[in-house]
Amino acid sequence: MLSRNKKKGLLAGRRALSSQNKQKVLKPLRARQLIRRFHVLLKNKTQLTKRLEKIWKCKIESDPARYIKEHNPDLFERFEQARIHTLETLLVNKPPPSTVINTNSFQLDRICEELGRIEGEIEKRGGLEVYQAASVQGQSSQRGGDSSKKLVEWLKDLGYNKDNAVALEIGCLNSRNLVSTCGLFSKVVKIDLHSQEPDILEQDFMERPLPKSAAEQFDLISCSLVVNFVPDPHLRGQMMHRITQFLKPHSQKPYLFFVLPLPCIVNSRYFDENRLSELMGALGFKCIRHYQSHKLAYYLYQWERRVSEKLNFPKKELHKGTKRNNFCIVMS
């Protein structure tokens, strides 16, 4: 095992390295590269954690490192060695590769090493805070961002004017974005996995307690660029289904504002506009506004309160082609 003192020293180094990476303003290309790389790292981490759960027949609630440490100190040492080696050797100024690894054949020691490498790279690139800062920057109005601009434009166009309307924003990076400041809602509950502001509740939507009454439900839910962030296609389906449970059934048809990166819709092997529309239809959503920019696909749905009994949307190849991505939402 690494000695405590050594670890302390490295941890101190880790902090120093991280703060070196925290640039205030990233160049747009660099921000995009970083966002893409974090997506890959988080996706790989989820897949490896699942492999671990399968092998150990357990449920790892949050941090795989903590679980490995508690259950197998030898494997944790391998994890730590890989993490520290990555911290010490990774060159972050080179454009990152974006390879999603195939974890199916990995044995335990390889899984733990790979998890250590991922953790090291996340730290070396400045941690999730830097990923979020890059995303906020992508949102900033100078870059034409803040997808909720589209939402507010649509709601105003629809003459939305409901007394005491409450909204939930899932995956909120900025408490002053337009959905919060437009004045159409008496309250906007903002949540994120990694809150950056006191006004944003740090919460996993998948763990948010289910509403016990209409008072805990919402007239509108905004879920912009979140589902693509969820690394597993089944979890994405569960997230879409769970959203329906947070919409007010007695509201005059509550809304869902939904945004995906355009390649999820136009360049996936397993997903496209038709599939999205079938899936949303089965969940009881009717699309009332739709817009595509050159990077994003925006949708405004109204929920009609009819979730189909049979939700059967497996992963199925819809389009052939080696240059396609693997984005998919699975529901069954």
Shorter beta-carbon distance to ligand SAM: residue 8 or 143 = 143
Check residue 191 for interaction with ligand SAM (CB under 6 A): yes
The residue assigned the tokens 């970083």 is 34
Check residue 173 for interaction with ligand SAM (CB under 6 A): yes
Query: Which secondary-structure segment (H or E) carries 15?
Result: helix 4-21
The residue assigned the tokens 């089944």 is 234
Q: Report DSSP state, residue 331.
A: B
Alpha-carbon distances of 204 from 17, 171, 207, 304, rounded to whole Å? 28, 9, 5, 26
Check residue 130 for interaction with ligand SAM (CB under 6 A): no
66-100 exposure pattern, b = at least 16 Cβ within 10 A, e = fewer: ebbeeebeebbbbbbbbbbebbeebeeeeebeeee
Judged by CB under 6 A, the residue of 18, 132, 137, 268 near ligand SAM is 132
- Quote the least distance from Cβ 93 to ligand SAM, whole Å: 23
Q: Which string of x and - marks every residue 196-235 that binds ligand SAM (by CB under 6 A)?
A: --------xxx-----------------xxx--xx-----
Helix axes 108-124, 127-139, angle to 10 degrees: 60
- 167 φ, ψ to 5°? -125, 155
Judged by CB under 6 A, the residue of 193, 266, 287, 318 near ligand SAM is 193
Check residue 298 for interaction with ligand SAM (CB under 6 A): no
d(CA 134, CA 123): 15
Other CB atoms within 10 Å distance of the CB of residue 133: 21
Residue 272 is assigned to a ligand binding site: no
Contact 114, 106 (CB under 8 A): yes
d(CA 166, CA 186): 6
Residue 145 is assigned to a ligand binding site: no
Shorter beta-carbon distance to ligand SAM: residue 194 or 306 = 194
Other CB atoms within 10 Å distance of the CB of residue 314: 12
- Quote the least distance from Cβ 206 to ligand SAM, whole Å: 5
Give the range of 52-60, 92-100, 101-109, 189-197 binding ligand SAM by CB under 6 A. 189-197
Judged by CB under 6 A, the residue of 113, 119, 192, 219 near ligand SAM is 192
Q: Which string of x and - marks every residue 251-280 that binds ligand SAM (by CB under 6 A)?
A: --------x---------------------
Check residue 134 for interaction with ligand SAM (CB under 6 A): no
- Quote the least distance from Cβ 88 to ligand SAM, whole Å: 28
Residues at the binding site for S-adenosyl-L-methionine are 171, 192
| Residues that bind ligand SAM in the complex, under the rule CB under 6 A | 132, 135, 139, 147, 170-171, 173, 191-194, 204-206, 224-226, 229-230, 259
